[in-house]
Amino acid sequence: MKEQNKWRTLVLILFLFSTLPFFGQEKKDDNWVLAATEFSIQDLPELYKEYAITVPKMVLLYLDTDMRRTVPMDEKKARSLLETGQKKLKLIKERAALIKEKDTLFLSVESKAAKKKQLKKLEKDIKKKEQEIERAKENIKIADARQFSKEDIKTVSLWKTGSDLFNTEKHTNLAEKLQEQKISALVSGTLKDIAGYLSVSVSITTGLANMPQYHFSDAGKYEDIQEIVKNLSEQMQMVIQNAKPVTVYFDIEPKTASVYIQDKKIEDFSKPIILYKGSYTVSASATGFISATQDVQIKDDTLYSLKIALKKMTAKTVTFYIPKGQADIFFDTKYFGLTPFDVQLYGDKNLLDISHNGVRTFVLVNSKKIKDIRGSVPITASLNKITTKDKIEKQRKVLYWSLGAFYIALPIDMILRGVLADKRNAYESGRLPQTDKNASSIKALSISSNVMQGVTICLGVNYFIQLIRYLVAADQSLPKEAIPTENVPVQRKKTSSALVEKSDLQTDAKQDLSQQPSGGKTQ
């Protein structure tokens, strides 16, 4: 009986020791680790260059949620191939080191017997390494042919709790570098200045062969960076968790419209695109139609139909003329003709470039202030008479000379008043002899001080007048507003409908942009 209990105890101990490695391995691969690297920057103002470090840390902060990733079988296979490939590479390096040691043995000063003994051992080790390399090759073939039948669910965690950024080096194998640090995926990005707005592009990559990279982008004002990062992070969470993709179909009216999703243009409406659950900014514009922008919420539907119907603009015909002479009309660097000229305007505001006697004037035509009448509405504007650049340059020089004269007169005035005050105090206190000569000197100095004070005041007033004139000259660079006038008999030229609104793409006052979740069917 005691002998039987001993055998049972021995079997139990062996079982426990044999299962320990498996428990350790399960715990080791429990997390799917995410890291971020410093973002690259393009044309960012000096004030915002620190965003290269701040933004990736903000991304990690928003991604630090209770996420679970369903690791696909393709990723498991790619990691298995990477691991077996690294083992083979390690064996090859070890074999190369043994061969190098064998070569250096011939140059050693040891005895022939010692050399022969070491050579025999090295050849044995080299042969053993070659056998291990062959087995590693077989393991790679097995890993490549292996079909994983089950997806793993892992907890998403941050590398070093998100406090540090991962340093990527050029000309290195990213997948191997990430595996060394036990990182599953890396977040990288680019910050770019576009006409005063911040464009943020972010990508997620595992570095593994045949595994897709995911790209996200958004743009906005620099002060809205927190909202931009939050929006991008919500989209990234869907990819990280390996959420099911949503197929989005388009129903566009008119067909010539330009449609952007997250500032990325959709080139072909006939083909669906793949998105993930989350909020997306959709904007659309077309010539002769009101632009529209709307936030669209993509839900868990497998199929989604996005319907966009822009409202057509109402065109207004105007005749631009000037009371005396003729002027050339330009729009967007394109020449249209001489005034009087009939044009069809779309949208609320259009900017014309009028050239009269070699002087350019920008004229803003506000369609809302033009009455809806049949036929053409005559309009005019107050044109510049002097070239804006020359007028501003001349007035700036006058302003600088006025300021210089004021700066010269002011200290002289202050010195004279100080000297006068000192002499008066000395004369009245008796420290300066009270003679007629000294009294005349103080009187003359008082007159000079008063005159200089008047000159200084005049120069100060002159400076402010010149400043106002400079601001008025600078105001000439602003567009002049077109003024509707009474109907006057004018000889009209041909009508042009080429002037259209350059849409802001953010105007949603009269938008008709709607989305319809299909629930499995498209409309």
Residues in contact with 22: Cβ distance below 8 Å, sequence separation at least 6, in sequence order: none
Residue 233 lies in a domain: no
- The pLDDT tens digits of the residues spanning 131-190 come to 877 777 777 666 666 665 566 778 888 998 888 899 887 657 788 888 888 888 899 999
**Same domain for 373 and 488?**
yes
- The pLDDT tens digits of the residues spanning 203-250 come to 998 888 778 888 888 888 898 899 999 888 888 888 888 777 788 888
**Same domain for 62 and 109?**
yes
Q: What are the tokens at 483?
A: 């003024």
pLDDT (0 to 100) of residue 386: 67
**Same domain for 176 and 50?**
yes
pLDDT (0 to 100) of residue 507: 33
Statement: residue 272 has pLDDT above 70: yes
Statement: residue 271 has pLDDT above 70: yes
What residues form DSSP beta bridges with 276? none
Domain boundary among 147, 164, 186: 186
- The pLDDT tens digits of the residues spanning 57-101 come to 999 998 888 787 777 766 777 677 667 766 777 778 878 888 887
pLDDT (0 to 100) of residue 512: 40
Question: To 5 degrees, how large is the angle CA 389–CA 463–CA 456?
Answer: 155
Residues 480, 362 contacting (CB under 8 angstroms): yes
Q: Which domain holds residue 463?
A: 388-475
**When comparing pLDDT for 306 and 345, which is higher?**
306
Residue 8 lies in a domain: no
Which value, in Å, is the radius of gyration of the alpha carbons in the chain?
Answer: 40
Q: If phi over 0 gives left and psi between -120 and 50 gives alpha, with beta otherwise, what is residue 388?
A: alpha
**Same domain for 108 and 166?**
yes
Q: What are the tokens at 250?
A: 């388009």
**Same domain for 471 and 486?**
no
- The pLDDT tens digits of the residues spanning 284-307 come to 888 778 888 888 887 766 778 888
Residue 204 lies in a domain: no
Amino acid type, 186: L
Mean pLDDT computed over 344-364: 69
**Same domain for 455 and 490?**
no
- 3-state DSSP assignment of residue 495: strand
**Same domain for 392 and 522?**
no
Quote the number of domains for the chain.
4
- Closest to 441 measured CA to CA, from 426, 453, 456: 426
**Same domain for 306 and 328?**
no
- The pLDDT tens digits of the residues spanning 368-402 come to 666 665 556 666 666 767 666 777 778 888 888 88
pTM score: 0.44
Residue 59 lies in a domain: yes
**When comparing pLDDT for 461 and 357, which is higher?**
461
> Checking DSSP bridges between strand 341-345 and strand 316-320, what pairing results, if any?
antiparallel
**Same domain for 303 and 398?**
no
**Same domain for 176 and 36?**
yes
Instruction: For residue 297, give the CATH number of its domain.
Output: 2.60.40
Domain boundary among 186, 211, 228: 186
Q: What are the tokens at 232?
A: 């991008």
- Closest to 79 measured CA to CA, from 176, 215, 213, 166: 176
Residue 2 lies in a domain: no
Q: What are the tokens at 22?
A: 């498996």
- 3-state DSSP assignment of residue 231: helix
Residue 105 lies in a domain: yes
Q: Could you check whether the bond before residue 254 is cis, i.e. omega within 30 degrees of 0?
A: yes
**Same domain for 487 and 351?**
yes
Q: Return the percentage of the chain with pLDDT > 70, whole number.
A: 68
**Same domain for 444 and 492?**
no
Residue 200 lies in a domain: no
Residue 11 lies in a domain: no
Statement: residue 18 has pLDDT above 60: no
